[in-house]
Structure 1
Amino acid sequence: MINVLVIDDEKEVGTFFYHLLKDKGYAVTLGHSYKDSQQKIMERSYDLSLIDVMLPDGNGIDLLKEMKKTHPACKVIVMTGYSTVKTAVEAIKFGASDYIEKPFDNLDELEELIDQLLKRPATPIESDLEILADRVGFVIGEHLEMKHLVKIAYKIAKKNVNVLIEGETGTGKEVLAHFIHQASLRSENPFISMNCGAISESLLESELFGHEKGAFTGALKEKKGVVEIANKGTLFLDEIGEASMATQVKLLRVLETGDYMRVGGEKICKTHTRVIAASHVNLAHAVAEKKFREDLLYRLDVVKLNIPPLRERKEDLPLLIEFFLKKLESPLTFSNEAIELMSQYTWPGNIRELFNVIKRSVTLAEDEVSIITPPFLPDKIRHSKIHPTKLLSVQKKTDQYTTHFEPYVMDKVKQILMSWKSDQAIDLDDILQEVRQLEDLIGKAFVTKALKETVGNRKEAAKMLNITERKLRYLLKEKGHFHS
């Protein structure tokens, strides 16, 4: 018999699910608190669990982690209110199969979700995911972080939530946005893409919202904007950080209410488009620098996906090369020596640069050879190895960084201790923020020191620190930077 565990402190919710699932022939166990549910998780195995995010004595996400650790095959649906949707999306990263919002407006959809999860085989939905990715030209590859990112994207695609994609220029943000659109319930409706950084500020508002005839010089006829054209579909706004503050205010209104007005118009229009935004800059940093509205970021950042740069997923180079050769309809291949040189290059332009290099090499090699060898590669790739002088420069920067480390740490610790000893009122959030900044600094300092001692060998540095290379990259690239 199928066993289902329902965890919710609202007894009427538990009663509702008890009768709904009992009528389907399932064995139902109810949990009403964190502590109570911990015991129930240990008592038997379950095929499905519905867990409320907010419990009076604990966090539903922690129960999710315990459930997946104790019963890895158990499907989990997280229940959440609107204000905790972002938390529910995070739950998917910890293994939740899906989430549902309270109150349950559509009971048919709820039943369908439960039935699908219980009837679906225990194996992941990777086959469907890979077929769809191949259809839109999105190469997933073997990089673990990339595989995880695409699984998250696939799961949240059917939800009516906004998505923020961050990543360096050329990493494939638009292709990922198209993948999400195709995996969503909006796939039959338009996918409209617009680069906010490629349009002048004076024209951006008109392109977004449209304009009425005679709204400005040159407006000879009425024009629809992309917000209107993408109605019921998906609107992908690339480089959204380039939009002016005035445009950001109007975009915020669209996200909050769906309302907008054409330039020169007086009538309020309505759109039901889903917005996927992208930026090559960190928008949280842009908010801190007063270059981006915090309330707009809050609306966009319900789900954030960060695409890793190509230099961090070089194991995927052969797959990407094969994909682009197929796209170019070229019978040529790259020699092992050429691929080895390409793997040593840092690819600042990422996937876009890789495609351009492959296209150039194919053009040069066509009618000459059947295998592309190093001479057909650009000079920047053939001579991409790090020279000793460059390594010395890096070491000098490391010395400069570590010189300021000790006094900075001592100063921070002294400030925290002074607050501890003070009899005056304090702001605990400020102190905890100081501690987090100190943690960031210490992590980066130890990694930098280890890299210096291993002459830049990341694998050896990670082994020296007893951390993974992924953790090492995280500390180097994502944590805060020390300023002397």
Structure 2
Amino acid sequence: MKRILIIDDEFEVQNFFSFLLRNKGFDLSFASNKDEIDGCLACKPYQLALVDLKLPDTDGITILKDIKQRMPACKVVIMTGYSTVKSALEAIRLGADDYIEKPFDDITELELLIDKLLTSETSLDQDKALELAEQIGFVIGESQKMHHLLSLAYKVAQKNVTLLIEGETGTGKEVLARFIHEASSRLVHPFIGVNCGALTETLLESELFGHEKGAFTGATQLRKGFFEIASKGTLFLDEIGDASPSIQVKLLRILETREFMRVGSERHLHTDTRIIAASHIHLNEAVNQGKFREDLLYRLDVVKLHIPPLRERKEDIPFLAKYLLKRHAAQQLSFSSDAVHLMEQYGWPGNVRELSNVITRAITFADGETTIITPEYLSINLEISKHSPFPQAKQQEWVGNQEAKDIISLEQHLEKWKEGILSQWKSSGTIDLPSIMEQTKKLEQVVGTAFVKKALRETIGNRKEASRLLNISPRNLRYLLNEKGKDC
């Protein structure tokens, strides 16, 4: 028989669970204060505890720690009101398995949660989360921090709460937002992302709220905004810290009332979109500097998720590097131990995005030359990092290695070309023009390839951009790389 402990000081709540669970064959115990809790925990083991966050003489966080210390296998669900959801999320970080909000509006959902926690289904949640993350390209790696973030994101995805994602540039905030959308009940509805710092105030307002025909010059027809299009879905507001004061006011109103007006309209519209905001700056600091509204931050920061920078989870770097090789269909390549060590020591100010660019470039130059990616292939785009313990001279040496190799190779071909002409002249006093033309053609190929490689370095492996810089067609670029049958 499964034993469940209900900890709540409200008699109505205890009575509710007694009525809900008695007929299911569970052994129920109830406690409303610290002494009763201690007595229950000392009496018998429990498989599940439902714990109210606030009690007269203790709190849910303290009880959670006590239960996990005495009974590590006991599942714990925190019961909370909407105003204390943040504390409930802190409880999950400390080991709680889930949280539920009071009053309990969806009894069926509550029953399903209890049944799931009392069976082996909870062990499947992590597997489902990992599978979904892999499908959408949210690479977790090996670090405990990222696995904990994934578990937390998967749980809150199924709650109807506003989320704030903080993390440095390039950490993957939009990919995490898309993961949350795909893990929620809204996945069949639109996911729309907008960068609040990439648009002017007027254009951003029109994009978010829509406009009526004739609302301004150029508004030739009615246009629905993202809040209207993404209703019942998810709206991702990236770089929310860059939104103007006027836009911040309008966002505050829509978060409070779920109502908005199109530009040029006086009619209120309703939206049921879920808002996920993101910022690479700390919004608390922006509030202190007077750049962001404190009341808006309060509305956005119901649940905050923080993506750690790559330099704080270096154990993930080898895993990410192998994943990027696989994504580029370059499994024939591998990394030398020195290359892996360099990647682990570098500070990665651009985070996963920078790692992806560096490896894309390394693949471009290593393909056809070697099967082992060594430090000189990685050093193409590595800059001196304040986070890196490597000596500056050593890093600069790596940066120049590949370019030096190309110069030496070019000089060797030039010398061979000259020797061929001189040898013919000395031996016969004449020159075999067809032979010289053939050698010159080969030299042109070598020179052209050297310029192509240099252009590819400067464009992080972007072949179309390299073609533009060299003023040649992508087809000619492929020819110079001896890739006549490949596409750019």
TM-score category, normalised to shorter length: 0.7 to 0.9
In 2, the alpha carbon distance for the partners of 1:117 and 1:387 equals 52
Could you tell me whether the CA contact under 8 Å between 2:358 and 2:381 is conserved in 1? Answer: no
Aligned pairs for 1:130-279 (under 5 A) are: 130-279=130-279
**TM-score under structure 1 length normalisation:** 0.77
**TM-score under structure 2 length normalisation:** 0.77
Unaligned runs of 5+ in 1: 390-484
Could you tell me whether the CA contact under 8 Å between 2:362 and 2:373 is conserved in 1? Answer: yes
Aligned pairs for 1:70-469 (under 5 A) are: 70-121=70-121, 123=123, 125-331=125-331, 332-379=333-380, 381=382, 385-387=389-391
Q: CA 1:382–1:156 in structure 2 vs 1: closer, same or farther (change >3 Å)?
A: closer
Q: How many angstroms does 1:270 deviate by?
A: 0.7
Q: CA 1:132–1:143 in structure 2 vs 1: closer, same or farther (change >3 Å)?
A: same
Q: How many angstroms does 1:386 deviate by?
A: 4.0
In 2, the alpha carbon distance for the partners of 1:382 and 1:251 equals 39
Could you tell me whether the CA contact under 8 Å between 2:80 and 2:88 is conserved in 1? Answer: yes
AA matched with 2:4: V
Q: How many angstroms does 1:380 deviate by?
A: 5.4
In 2, the alpha carbon distance for the partners of 1:73 and 1:375 equals 50
AA matched with 2:307: I
AA matched with 2:69: K
In 2, the alpha carbon distance for the partners of 1:115 and 1:386 equals 54
1:155-182: per-residue Cα shift (whole Å, max 9, x none)?
1110001111111100111111111111
In 2, the alpha carbon distance for the partners of 1:309 and 1:147 equals 14
Q: CA 1:53–1:263 in structure 2 vs 1: closer, same or farther (change >3 Å)?
A: same
In 2, the alpha carbon distance for the partners of 1:21 and 1:203 equals 54
Count of aligned pairs: 390
AA matched with 2:179: F
Could you tell me whether the CA contact under 8 Å between 2:18 and 2:28 is conserved in 1? Answer: yes
1:13 is matched with 13
Could you tell me whether the CA contact under 8 Å between 1:35 and 1:57 is conserved in 2? Answer: no
Q: How many angstroms does 1:358 deviate by?
A: 1.0
Q: Secondary structure at the match of 1:125?
A: helix
In 2, the alpha carbon distance for the partners of 1:207 and 1:121 equals 42
In 2, the alpha carbon distance for the partners of 1:321 and 1:159 equals 33
Q: Secondary structure at the match of 1:304?
A: strand
Identity across the alignment (%): 57
1:338-363: per-residue Cα shift (whole Å, max 9, x none)?
22222221111110111111111111
Q: Secondary structure at the match of 1:188?
A: coil
In 1, the alpha carbon distance for the partners of 2:55 and 2:237 equals 37
Q: Secondary structure at the match of 1:269?
A: strand
Q: Secondary structure at the match of 2:77?
A: strand
In 1, the alpha carbon distance for the partners of 2:27 and 2:4 equals 6
Which is further off, 51-60 or 336-345? 336-345
Could you tell me whether the CA contact under 8 Å between 1:73 and 1:122 is conserved in 2? Answer: no
AA matched with 2:229: I
Q: How many angstroms does 1:256 deviate by?
A: 1.6
In 1, the alpha carbon distance for the partners of 2:214 and 2:302 equals 38
1:430 is matched with none
Q: CA 1:54–1:385 in structure 2 vs 1: closer, same or farther (change >3 Å)?
A: closer
Could you tell me whether the CA contact under 8 Å between 2:194 and 2:238 is conserved in 1? Answer: yes
Q: If you compute each CA radius of gyration, which structure gives the higher value, 1 or 2?
A: 2
Could you tell me whether the CA contact under 8 Å between 1:33 and 1:56 is conserved in 2? Answer: yes
Q: Note if 1:66 corresponds to 2:62.
A: no
AA matched with 1:239: E
Which is further off, 11-20 or 24-33? 11-20
Could you tell me whether the CA contact under 8 Å between 1:196 and 1:204 is conserved in 2? Answer: yes
Which is further off, 239-248 or 221-230? 221-230
Q: How many angstroms does 1:385 deviate by?
A: 5.0
AA matched with 1:355: S
AA matched with 1:347: W
In 2, the alpha carbon distance for the partners of 1:124 and 1:5 equals 24
In 1, the alpha carbon distance for the partners of 2:382 and 2:116 equals 49
Q: Secondary structure at the match of 1:187?
A: coil
